[in-house]
Amino acid sequence: MSRQYLGQNFLIDESILEKIASLFKPPGEFGEIGPGHGELTKYLSKKYSDFTVFEKDKNLVPLHKTLKNYRVVEGDFLDWDFNLQNKQIENFSFIGNLPYEAGTAIVKRICERPSQVVHFLFLLQKEVVERLCAKPHTRDFGSLSVLVQGQFDVEALDIVRPEAFNPAPQVMSQLVGGFRRENGAHPVSSKYNQFVQSCFLHKRKTFRNAIKSKFSKEKIDEVFQDFDLKPTARAEEISVDLWPALFKAFQDG
Ligand code: SAM
């Protein structure tokens, strides 16, 4: 039985499962988010003898507890404290055919912990992958693109059709890989994240109009002049690596 509220679209195409497992090259310890019945886990088990799986569905947990080469963390991944066996994880990687409902939230959660996470390989709704990997001046470029690309170098990989799953989802899926940026990663703070999100909130507005209720006219004029921004500039025209400096400029003074 599939629980739709847990995003249970199980992968049934063995060639795709095998491909995902072969693309995954964690440099150290790793975990699989949402192992389900072990569709992907069985391929990972062939290659690795010590890893962790994170499963929210209580009914699926016992199945994993009988197996010896990995441990199970039971519960919502979003509530997990990045601690394993009483130690904070370090340089950890994640893989998973993520539940659609929680996919974006899981990616955001990982981006809040870049010093602990070195790599991810996820299967997500294609539209979400397009937003994660979008470049400035495109329709999909938004706060999710800035927040994820601020921490990880991301790459959109294979597209997976609905027939590869049971039950088949209504939408296309796509693999996305990310490696932690070694230089120039963005600040990790909820204030920074909120700033970026609020600037993209009204995508039809100019950047100036989107922020005018938050900062004084003088401050906005000063920052626009310092950054050489046109009055008509929109948030989606501002490149990923300009955001931390813009944030800092708006906080200063
Ligand atoms: N790994 C299997 C596969 O590839 O077919 C199952 C993937 S299925 C799309 C998503 C899995 O994530 C399900 O097993 C579901 O119960 C689990 N799940 C859903 N929300 C979760 C959450 N917040 N934390 C951990 N697991 C979750």
Of the pLDDT bands very low, low, confident and very high (cuts 50, 70, 90), residue 253 is: low
pLDDT interval class at 7 (50, 70, 90): confident
E strand or H helix at 112, and its extent? none
pLDDT at 46: 94
Ligand 1 atom 16, closest CA: 57
Nearest CA, atom 1, ligand 1: 35
Alpha carbon distance 48, 71 (integer Å)? 12
What predicted TM-score, i.e. pTM, was given to this entire model?
0.95
* Peptide bond before residue 244 is cis, with ω within 30 degrees of 0: no
Identify the pLDDT of residue 203.
Answer: 76
Cα 9 to middle of ligand 1, angstroms: 8
* Residue to mutate (ligand 1; options 53, 55, 174; most atoms within 8 A of CB): 55
In tens, the pLDDT along 170-206 reads 999 999 999 999 877 788 899 999 999 999 988 778 9
Cβ neighbours of residue 116 closer than 8 Å, sequence gap 6 or more: 82, 88, 89, 90, 91, 92
The pLDDT tens digits for 49-87 are 999 999 999 999 998 988 778 999 999 999 999 999 999
76 lines ligand 1 (CB under 6 A): yes
Q: How far is the CA of 41 from the centre of ligand 1 (A)?
A: 12
172 and 244 co-located in one domain: no
Number of domains in the chain: 2
Kindly state whether residue 67 falls inside one of the protein's structural domains. yes
Q: Which atom of ligand 1 is least distant from the CA of 12?
A: 5
Range of the domain at 86: 4-180
CATH number of the domain encompassing residue 229:
1.10.8.100
Query: Is residue 93's pLDDT more than 90?
Result: yes
155 and 237 within one domain: no
Residue 55 and residue 114 in one domain: yes
Is the CB of residue 231 less than 8 Å from the CB of residue 216?
no
Q: Looking at the chain, how many residues does it have?
A: 253
| 129: number of Cβ within 10 Å | 25
The CATH number for 137's domain is 3.40.50.150
Question: Ligand 1 centre from 135 Cα, in Å?
Answer: 29
Q: How far is CA 48 from CA 30, 69, 118, 120, 203, in A?
A: 10, 8, 18, 16, 45
For tokens 């394993």, the residue is 84
Q: What spacing in Å lies between the alpha carbon of 55 and ligand 1's midpoint?
A: 6
- Does 91 share its domain with 203? no
Q: Does residue 196 sit in the same domain as residue 74? A: no
Question: For the chain, what is the mean pLDDT?
Answer: 94
Q: Give tens-digit pLDDT for 101-149.
A: 999 999 999 999 999 999 999 999 999 999 999 999 999 999 999 999 9
* Cα–Cα distance measured from residue 50 to residue 8, given in angstroms and rounded to the nearest whole number: 25
Does residue 185 lie within any of the structural domains?
no
Q: Are residues 176 and 199 in the same domain?
A: no
